[in-house]
Amino acid sequence: MKLLRNIEKDGINLKNLRVLLRLDLNVPIQDNKIVDDFRIRKSLASINFLREKGAIIIIISHIESKYNTTLKPIAEYFNTLGIDCIFEKNYKKALDFSDENSTDKIIMLENLRMHEGEEENDKKFAKELASLADIYVNDAFPVSHREHASICAITEFIPSYAGFQFEEEIKHLSSAFKPSDTERPFVFILGGAKFDTKLPLVEKFISIADMVFIGGALAHDFYKAQGIDIGRSLTSDTPPDLSKIINNKKIILPIDNVKVDNVIMDIGLQTVDLLQKEINKAKYILWNGPMGAYETGYNAGTLKLAEILSDATKKGIKTIVGGGDTLATITELKLEDSFTFISTGGGAMLDYLAKGTLPGIEALERGL
């Protein structure tokens, strides 16, 4: 996989070169305002590098917010960051954008998801995208688990590189596959729901981590398999086969819970204390997913866990965290700079941890 960082070592001069930069700008927007700009800020390393080298930058991205389907507010937000960003709905007009416009400016094209060929990984659409530039850069790790035209098929038609944030994601997440002796005990904390997609991850990390803590709705499936009454608590639609791991001593479940009308909504104080003790003994912690029904307001356990991990980072413990609700928690507490690494990915983070690769990575590896 070729890296943007090393592009000049490949003999490529970026001055006035057209670069198609795939970002993930799928950020929450309400009332035409950016609610959380974390992913935007993480894209700036690649943008600033390309600007400094005099490249002509054409940004492509998608957005799927229920409040918004256009990237125009994000283009306007870039302008508030001191980056002159021109928003353009017509993709072909990007060809008119040249060094005459000044490389101090960038152009942002409209939502990729408005084109049927994008999600179909259509080669014709990918070729049209590739025709807009000389170089393609993927810095959209959060969507690189999708086989979409702007992620996969495009690398067949244009020299392709991984951006700075993409490189950082692989560097930090891959460290979880083989923790060093100085990074043990290694604790993996997994929350949220959808056990059918996360079971392979649990099975994999049982053999890698020293402890696997299962929280959130995922724990309910374990309780149910153990014959524990969980009332009307959320479980997987299809009961997962936990027979291979149910009795594994590395797996730790919440020892108390917050219940409302016989429904488990969050982890309890005893469980928070248990987590704090295990975290204090650890040298490396990997966390993804909330500990309770975060979206319905039961976020006390998740917020407390974020604070505990922030304190652990200050003590020199390696902390890698990620996931949509996890990131929302960190943002709410203003702790974005309080961990070793925060992944911009949700599903992509989980897929990469489970499989060690992603369609977007494989596309870059086999691309031009």
Measured on CA atoms in the order 326, 328, 329, 331, is the torsion positive or negative? positive
Give me the mean pLDDT over the 318-344 stretch.
91
**Residue 327 banded pLDDT, cuts 50, 70, 90:** confident
Contacts of 357 (CB under 8 A, 6+ apart): none
β-sheet bridge partners, residue 39: none
What is the rounded average pLDDT of the residues 297-312? 95
Query: Torsions phi, psi of 281, nearest 5?
Result: -90, -15
Q: How far is CA 303 from the centre of its chain?
A: 19
Q: Is the pLDDT of residue 308 over 60?
A: yes
pLDDT for 121-166, tens place per residue?
999 999 999 999 999 999 999 999 999 999 999 999 999 999 999 9
Are 196 and 236 a contacting pair, CB within 8 Å? yes
Higher pLDDT, 102 or 174: 174
Q: Are 158 and 128 in contact (CB under 8 A)?
A: no
Q: Residue 208 and residue 299: Cα distance in Å, rounded?
A: 29
CA-CA-CA-CA torsion sign (161, 163, 167, 173):
negative
Same fold, 4-165 and 173-354: yes
> 173-354: which CATH number, 3.40.50.2000, 3.40.50.1260, 3.30.1360.200, 1.25.50.10?
3.40.50.1260
pLDDT score recorded for residue 237: 82
Structure confidence by residue, pLDDT tens digits, 184-213: 999 999 998 877 778 889 999 999 999 999
Q: Are strands 135-139 and 18-23 parallel, antiparallel or unpaired?
A: parallel
pLDDT at 102: 56
Q: If you average pLDDT over residues 258-266, what whole number do you get?
A: 95
- Report the sign of the C-alpha dihedral through residues 268, 272, 277, 283, in that order: positive
Q: What is the pLDDT of residue 67?
A: 63
Task: Express as a percent the part of the chain with pLDDT over 90.
Answer: 81
Q: Which amino acid is at 339?
A: F
Q: Which residues contact 35 (CB under 8 A, 6 or more apart)?
A: 27, 28, 29
Q: Would you state the pLDDT for residue 179?
A: 95
Structure tokens at 164: 């700075």
Give the pLDDT of residue 331. Answer: 87
pLDDT band at 263; cut points 50, 70, 90: very high
Summarize pLDDT for 38-69 with one digit per residue, the tens.
999 999 999 999 999 999 999 999 998 666 78
Question: Which DSSP letter does residue 355 get?
Answer: H
Task: Tell me how far CA of residue 217 lies from CA of 228, 250, 347, in angstroms.
Answer: 14, 19, 17
Q: Which amino acid is at 365?
A: E
Mean pLDDT of 212-241: 91
Count of all residues that appear for the chain in the document: 368
Judge whether residue 6 has pLDDT over 90: yes
Q: At which residue do the structure tokens 């969050």 appear? A: 266
| pLDDT, position 189 | 97
Give the H/E segment covering residue 287: strand 284-288
Cα gap 174→265, rounded to integer Å: 32
HSE-CB at 219 with a 13 A cutoff on CA atoms is 27
CATH topology of domain 4-165: Rossmann fold (3.40.50)
- Give the pLDDT of residue 315: 96
Domain boundaries, the chain: 4-165, 173-354
In the predicted structure, residue 101 carries a pLDDT above the cut 90: no
Is 58 in a helix, a strand, or coil?
strand
State residue 100's pLDDT score. 54
User: Mean pLDDT over residues 158-175, rounded?
Assistant: 98
Q: Which of 24-28, 134-138, 216-220 tops mean pLDDT?
A: 134-138
**Residue-level pLDDT at 88:** 94
Tokens read off for 344: 């911009």
